[in-house]
Amino acid sequence: MKNIAVLASGVGSNLEAILEAVERGEVAGRVVLAISDQVEAAALEKARGHRIKALFLSPKNYNSREEYDQALFDQLKKTQVDLVVLAGFMRLLSTYFIRSFPLQIMNIHPSLLPAFPGLDGVEQALNYGVKVTGCTVHFVDEGLDSGPIILQEAVPVIQNETIMTLQQRIHAAEHRLYPIAIDLFCRGKLQVEGRRCFIFD
């Protein structure tokens, strides 16, 4: 069974969706650790509520992003983590960290990548006037939301949509999609060739 660590900075709604999917037996892995860079992140409490080890790692204790990522790496290796899942983790990861976990870091982004990468993907899509947006689960590489795409789900933009209503519907899609992608990884069903991620039965 694969060991999963979740990195989160905020509310932790995706973390909770993943934990609930694991408890329902829908993910062939187990979450062994949750780490946050924010001491008051609700995600930590959510993890503890599911009896998952929760750790606050303060960036103030380190002189650089690389030093912080080294400490992060040490914690993950100590816990023998197979997959690192980003769930609203608001720090950019260093090249060192990403190269330490090749094709073992997943992220979810609130748009249909490669459209609207970076911050405020929902607002970008709404302002652009698209009729369809959605969410994307992808492997993390050294670019900005540019790693191989694992799964996507489309969300239509309805009339009189606001950022908040669209965000809520995209979040609902994320909560469905992320556990599926994690389960595929845990069951060895993903294979990356170049930019393409293939899914095998």
pLDDT digits (tens, 9 = 90+) for 94-131: 999 999 999 999 999 999 999 999 999 999 999 999 99
Token pair belonging to 94: 């260093």
In tens, the pLDDT along 19-28 reads 999 999 999 9
| CATH topology agreement for domains 1-101 and 107-201 | yes
pLDDT of residue 135: 98
Q: Is residue 175 flagged as an active site residue?
A: no
In tens, the pLDDT along 125-140 reads 999 999 999 999 999 9
> 107-201 architecture in CATH?
3-Layer(aba) Sandwich (3.40)
From 152, 136, 15, select the one nearest 87 (Cα to Cα): 15
Alpha carbon distance 108, 184 (integer Å): 15
Question: What's the pTM value of the predicted model, to 2 decimals?
Answer: 0.96
All structural domains of the chain with their residue ranges: 1-101, 107-201
The CATH number of domain 1-101 is 3.20.20.110:
no
Sheet holding 196-199, edge to edge: 54-56, 29-36, 2-7, 83-86, 105-109, 132-139, 149-156, 196-199, 190-193
Is the pLDDT confidence value at 181 over 90? Answer: yes
Active-site choice (109, 138, 171, 175): 109
pLDDT of residue 201: 83
pLDDT of residue 141: 96
pLDDT of residue 198: 98
Asked if residues 16 and 37 have their Cβ atoms less than 8 Å apart, the reply is no
Alpha carbon distance 132, 153 (integer Å): 10
Please give the C-alpha separations between residue 135 and each of 44, 129, 158, in angstroms, as whole numbers: 24, 16, 16
